Structure 1
């Protein structure tokens, strides 16, 4: 155990040393450009999440303080830690936020904290972007080093590392503060479960918000002289929440490859593990990408549900956990492969509206979902995480079989989206909040955030 302790202590120190040394101009331009697309996408998802009734009530309860904006109509100001909590929670509602394999959602956890603190401290857009990229990178590496236990959900734990790294960079912490910050953050992670997703318990949507609050608490602790402990990363993620931790992943090829470039963008309003099955279903129905629309794939020639005998879905091991029937609520529907596939066969697209409201109780969909048989496929499992693959076979009562495949959903790094499609997604999500010209102004401002001299004026000046 002594060797492990020394290895992880050294790796954590080296990670902190690298983070402290990186300046904005050290980050390659193509990485910064991709980061700006990612943050613009995240802002759009947060804005649409502000429509949720639970969020509207939460805004009223937590509207206090000044310093950072809430990503909602009017951009009201609240205390930075409150803004980060609210923005992270709103972003989580839709299941349209970006992510990276394996497995987590760095922008969901890092962006709200970095953005709120940068506004409160009048930081430049370049300062913010640097902290955002480095926070993302730290979280990505911890994710990649960890083999989570099956029951553990990746919200509310990996994010503490990314968020505190972003905070440390914004605060210009030295190497020792960064090291202590990561260790302290690892010691204060949440043991979050997948079960709320499958049941539809929306407390799950607050997991990333709690990451934000914990990160701000760790900031105060470190700046007050509190310390972490050297084995925190490997113990928390390799023993308590996970079954294994590869220490070397923390430091290998630092500055050469950025995890942000391996991320995926979502074009289905559902858990990322559902996406391969949806793309495969569209493929079986001869659907094609319709650039310039969101959802980007609409299938027009749908089979008669009454003519379908059964649907067989083959997925990788990690996606097989979503072989559950939806519980009649929005969140569980987004984590149910049977519901998602049945809904797609009836509605022809995976837009936000098809995972909420009366659609959830559509008896044609409910009955069809019971005909969906999901099974793990060893060959597909062996390809993860390089491929997020699925095969769907729609068996018709007349003996015909419609077969579809997906090796990587549209939006993944192996099947990257067009920049124009990300803008169309942003524009669609912000309907009812802004005019078309304002949507374009916000999008362009996000892509030009490096030129912003004072991030506290970002929304005030432009919108």
Structure 2
């Protein structure tokens, strides 16, 4: 296919996506899909509130000096402009590496778009059904652009293909027609961040800013389309494809309205990169059988996407959360990988550091061959009394492997936020889905205590 043909194909696929976004009606969405989207919204709000409690996020909000406005700044006790809400809430959402993800999209569709959609919904005083339709449009389009995009080696997925989803959700909320919605999505596809995965491995918080930029850029793309100054020219083929890697237009409209990608995601029980989760799950299951002082070596065999998370030293929380040795060692030492395992003195716990030094990470070709349906890990723990090997196909919380239902997700949020706050988040999420004016529950959640 020539470059001209590729761009034309992307233009046609984006037009199909725009038509689907414009025509999406909440009443037509199957009940099971509505239920799953409600769980993703619940998780997003709860995880964002947890991130807002962190000292780094508080300092960021203080430095930002957000102006008053109609949109919620979760956990900050205030509302602010749509733009500040979208940017700051997105940064809080990904700060603890707990946000929902999707292995087929190869990243995090909801985090790329939900903060922007919710901020705009609060400003427009949109209804719950309209807001939920916009969130669903955002997720499905973002996920498909993630499927369609094959990033170059070393590129991080935050802030690239997901901008198209943010644009789609905001376009749906603004009530744009098919052509305008397509123009918004195309413009979003032309606003990617080219972030290097090495920044995340180094613990550089610019990684969080990439996700914040996605939300802000998606909002801008929808407004450009609303103003009539955006066009659909198949930008994805050259911005996400030619520039950042490869782009398959056929994946953009594939199964829209039939296959719901929101049902295929995963919730995270560990505050760490999802690539580390299967190994953490294995060692937690083995922990009752493993005396820490008897561990000689832990070998983690994994797929190609996770094989680079090998660092046995870290100088920041984010760097630790992208280190399989840290996550495995923290799980064994603490019995969990909640945020407290990587904060304060725990980040430099000498027991964790010593054990991490005995963790070896390597790629296994047979596990790489099972992508994307499985993100497997095979862990061998060697000690003075012998070795034990266990393998898991996916992390706990994946929709295809020990999925979390509403009760499990509520328990997880209760661990993060405390039972009372988690219950309030659940109330606000439920009310947001049905409200005549979503700004009411969202503003209440903005003022929820963050001790």
- Aligned pair in 2 of structure 1 residues 308, 53: CA closer, same or farther (>3 Å)? same
**1:247-277 C-alpha deviation (Å, 9 max, x unpaired):** 1111122211111000000011100000111
Partner of 1:289: none
Cα pair 2:17 2:252 within 8 Å, conserved: yes
**1:86-135 C-alpha deviation (Å, 9 max, x unpaired):** 11000111101000013111111211011110010010011100000011
Moved more, 389-398 or 321-330: 321-330
Partner of 2:101: 99
How far 1:278 sits from its partner (Å)?
A: 0.9
**1:28-70 C-alpha deviation (Å, 9 max, x unpaired):** 1111111011111111101010112221122223321211111
Distance in 2 (alpha carbons) for counterparts of 1:216 and 1:110:
9
Cα pair 1:67 1:77 within 8 Å, conserved: yes
Distance in 2 (alpha carbons) for counterparts of 1:65 and 1:326:
42
Partner of 2:6: 4
SS at match of 1:319: coil
Partner of 1:372: 359
TM-score computed with the length of structure 1 as normaliser: 0.91
Q: Output aligned runs, 1:5-404, within 5 Å.
A: 5-60=7-62, 61-74=64-77, 76-102=78-104, 103-228=106-231, 230-242=233-245, 244-283=246-285, 285=286, 299=287, 301=288, 303-398=290-385, 400-404=386-390
1:411 aligns with 2:397: yes
Cα pair 1:198 1:326 within 8 Å, conserved: no
Partner of 1:446: 429
Cα pair 2:14 2:234 within 8 Å, conserved: no
Distance in 1 (alpha carbons) for counterparts of 2:257 and 2:266:
20
Cα pair 1:101 1:144 within 8 Å, conserved: no
Give the unaligned 5+ runs of structure 1: 286-298
How far 1:438 sits from its partner (Å)?
A: 5.3
How far 1:460 sits from its partner (Å)?
A: 4.8
SS at match of 1:404: strand
How far 1:224 sits from its partner (Å)?
A: 3.3
SS at match of 2:145: helix
Partner of 1:296: none
**1:411-463 C-alpha deviation (Å, 9 max, x unpaired):** 101121132110011222223xxxx4453243034134332000111245687
- Aligned pair in 2 of structure 1 residues 254, 391: CA closer, same or farther (>3 Å)? same
Distance in 1 (alpha carbons) for counterparts of 2:6 and 2:241:
11
SS at match of 2:154: coil
Cα pair 1:156 1:211 within 8 Å, conserved: yes
Cα pair 1:119 1:455 within 8 Å, conserved: yes
SS at match of 2:68: coil
Question: Which residue of the other structure, out of 419, 423, 427, is the alignment partner of 2:414?
Answer: 427
Cα pair 1:279 1:409 within 8 Å, conserved: yes
SS at match of 2:394: coil
Cα pair 1:13 1:179 within 8 Å, conserved: yes
Distance in 2 (alpha carbons) for counterparts of 1:185 and 1:323:
34
How far 1:325 sits from its partner (Å)?
A: 2.2
Cα pair 1:131 1:166 within 8 Å, conserved: yes
Cα pair 1:281 1:405 within 8 Å, conserved: no
Cα pair 2:138 2:166 within 8 Å, conserved: yes
- Aligned pair in 2 of structure 1 residues 442, 282: CA closer, same or farther (>3 Å)? closer
Cα pair 2:278 2:392 within 8 Å, conserved: yes
Distance in 2 (alpha carbons) for counterparts of 1:438 and 1:429:
9
